[in-house]
Amino acid sequence: WGQGDRFGYNNDYISYVETKPGEGFLTINHEYVSAKPWSQTYKQVLGKDLPFDAVKAKAMGIEDGAIDAFSLPDGDPLKAQIREISKAGQYDQGLSVISVRKKADGTWERTYSNADRRVSGISGLEDGKYLKSTGPATLIFKKTSGQGYIDGLGDQIIGTHQNCSGGTTPWGTVFSAEENYQGEVVDPVYADGTSFSPSETPFVWVTKEGEIEDIAGQGNVLGYQGNKYGWMVEIDPANPSDYGTKHTWLGRYRHEAVGVRADAGKNLAFYSGCDRRGGHLYKFVSSAKVSNPTSKANSQLLRDGMLYAAKFNPDGTGRWIALKADTPVNPDLPTVHAGKMIPLPNRPDGGVVKVTDDAVALQFKQQFKTLGDLYAGTPEEKQGAILIDAHYAANAAGATCTARPEDTDVNANGTLFVTFTSGSPSSSDGSPDSRVFKGPKGETAYEYGWVMRLNEDGNDPAAMTFKWSMFATGGEPADGGLGFANPDNIEFDAKGNLWLVTDMSTDKHNKAIAAGRLDKEGKAISQSNLRGLYGNNSVWYLPTSGANAGEAYLFGYGPMDSEMTGPFFTKDQQTLFMSVQHPGEFNGVRKDMSSENRQFALKTTDGKEFMQTREVPIGSNWPSNQANMPPKPSVVVIRRLDGGSLS
């Protein structure tokens, strides 16, 4: 973070597109800013002052720390201060494209080509470098009147933010996933697909004891139109004038990643998960077929097709449900979910309603016969509105609510692997189907996650039915897990082995676990809080074939308060690129090398409890590891010293 003009914050997905042997483009996502270390070290790293103290003090004096800066008069000094912070935060999100080459000694260096550039959360705000869009939702963007807020920019889109994971196509473009956009802009829409006012998602600065400090609602003061965020963004790293295209046939939801299947003579298929509790697995299938998988003309196939959401049956079979106007409304009942609630489109008011009564869900099905009954406009506009409201449309259509689907990767044989990071419920978002998502002992609301393997029937990317099974399960070995918690990004090496990183929330890292695993009130510690046992986030290696298939081997351990993200191998398998995201997120800068001794009630593989003492550093100084230096999200290169293959 902080290098050049300027490398953004909290790097996540990494893509390496080779242009010739040992040389190419790195495209790196920047997901969000971690309020505590970002505000603590901004001046130290960048040499610039921002009005952090004044705005934080104002927010702390307000319930929930929320300020509707969008509605403040233009001359209000507070509005100007919030705008300055929000612009800086949005600039530190998005993507970085940098050209690199491998030196003779195996290390890497930048080459500073004319295609090196930032695509940020404020691209287009003042520089005219807008993002573009394709597909039916573009009709909604072009509206000059409607039920909701319209920014007046038509199909011009300001920036991209909350860029989590992504995917790289065989034709050399990169897809970046806009995930938790609901933290920056308004999420709900009306029946015509237009957004609620920016005032509905105010600027927020919150810090509560024991919680992660957060600066959110950055799109509020900037007047961002919410329905323009939450998409997959395609960029050609080699084209210096390409600032990204949002392909709306892929749907608007909390995209984590994308798995691409481009087989000659078959339909193009894109797989992506909505990373929320109760989120769905989706597949886009193009209308036309792929001719040459490496042709950049394949991007045009994303302009026409259909988006589907997955229906998982408990017996290991499943089908794809089309998200279109004539699809029947048939939501799963609230009681089949771990949290006994399902959000459905709220009509006629717009937004969503949380349904907890099976009778209400059945009444909803009787009132609205098809998805088209829930949305307004011409047939083309209804399709656009359905795609904009994809998650809630999928709920209404009966797609299976899952356990926070994260990465989606297709292996060389066409098998899709999906990570589900957590099966715990949420009172706001929803929860997974308890008939499908169970722990190793049949537990529902299982926290530690899974890796699923999905095979399309006939190995056809356009198939409407599939078979699925759980390939790996998180949790403690004594309880049937593989030793990790909350699987996230995955990557295949050339031999088909799976590399996996974990995504435990930083407020759980190294949280002490007392003897007997009881809290201060004598109650059993929850699965969520037991994640303190797992220490820091980590990197794992899982063979997918042979005698050790499905076993998990620890490869690496991340810095304090961080998450390892975006593993990506070069073609020669000699380099593994990896991001280190949000070091110091929970405790900030490590001051004077401070640490604490903490006790942990661990279990042997046969279930016997024993106590472990850890010296836990408080905060982070990574990557310098020098006292009181700022923690910086960074990209690392992993290689063998002998120059050999890592796989």
pLDDT digits (tens, 9 = 90+) for 209-268: 778 999 999 999 999 999 999 999 999 999 999 999 999 999 999 999 999 999 999 999
- Contacts of residue 178, defined as CB under 8 A and 6 or more positions apart, other chains included, come to 160, 161, 162, 163, 164, 229, 230, 231, 232, 233, 255
For residues 198 and 36, what is the distance between their CA atoms, to the nearest angstrom? 25
- Bridge pairing between strands 132-134 and 245-247: parallel
Say if residues 201 and 186 touch (Cβ distance below 8 Å). Answer: yes
Mean pLDDT of 470-497: 98
pLDDT digits (tens, 9 = 90+) for 45-63: 999 999 999 999 999 999 8
User: What pLDDT is stored for residue 138 in this prediction?
Assistant: 99
- Contacts of residue 428, defined as CB under 8 A and 6 or more positions apart, other chains included, come to none
pLDDT digits (tens, 9 = 90+) for 333-385: 999 999 999 999 999 999 999 999 999 999 999 999 999 999 999 999 999 99
Q: Which of 13, 178, 183, 22 is nearest to 99 (CA)?
A: 22
User: What pLDDT is stored for residue 2 in this prediction?
Assistant: 60
* Per-residue tokens: 374: 């829930």
Q: Where are the alpha helices (DSSP H) in 431-561?
A: none
Query: What percent of the chain has pLDDT above 90?
Result: 98
pLDDT digits (tens, 9 = 90+) for 387-439: 999 999 999 999 999 999 999 999 999 999 999 999 999 999 999 999 999 99
Mean pLDDT of 272-286: 99
Say if residues 174 and 94 touch (Cβ distance below 8 Å). Answer: no
For residues 518 and 468, what is the distance between their CA atoms, to the nearest angstrom? 37
User: What pLDDT is stored for residue 505 in this prediction?
Assistant: 97
Q: In what order do the strands lie in the sheet with 203-206?
A: 66-67, 203-206, 214-216
User: What pLDDT is stored for residue 408 in this prediction?
Assistant: 99
* Per-residue tokens: 554: 């620890």
Query: What percent of the chain has pLDDT above 70?
Result: 100
pLDDT surpasses 80 at 616? yes
For residues 419 and 179, what is the distance between their CA atoms, to the nearest angstrom? 15
Mean pLDDT of 598-619: 98
Say if residues 482 and 538 touch (Cβ distance below 8 Å). Answer: no
pLDDT digits (tens, 9 = 90+) for 111-147: 999 999 999 999 999 999 999 999 999 999 999 999 9
Q: Calculate helix-pair angle for 35-46, 52-60, nearest 10 degrees.
A: 160
For residues 419 and 490, what is the distance between their CA atoms, to the nearest angstrom? 8
User: What pLDDT is stored for residue 208 in this prediction?
Assistant: 80
User: What pLDDT is stored for residue 6 in this prediction?
Assistant: 83
Say if residues 196 and 149 touch (Cβ distance below 8 Å). Answer: yes
pLDDT digits (tens, 9 = 90+) for 424-478: 999 999 999 999 999 999 999 999 999 999 999 999 999 999 999 999 999 999 9
Helix (H) or strand (E) holding 222: helix 218-222
Mean pLDDT of 509-515: 97
pLDDT surpasses 80 at 1? no
pLDDT surpasses 70 at 4? no
User: What pLDDT is stored for residue 63 in this prediction?
Assistant: 84
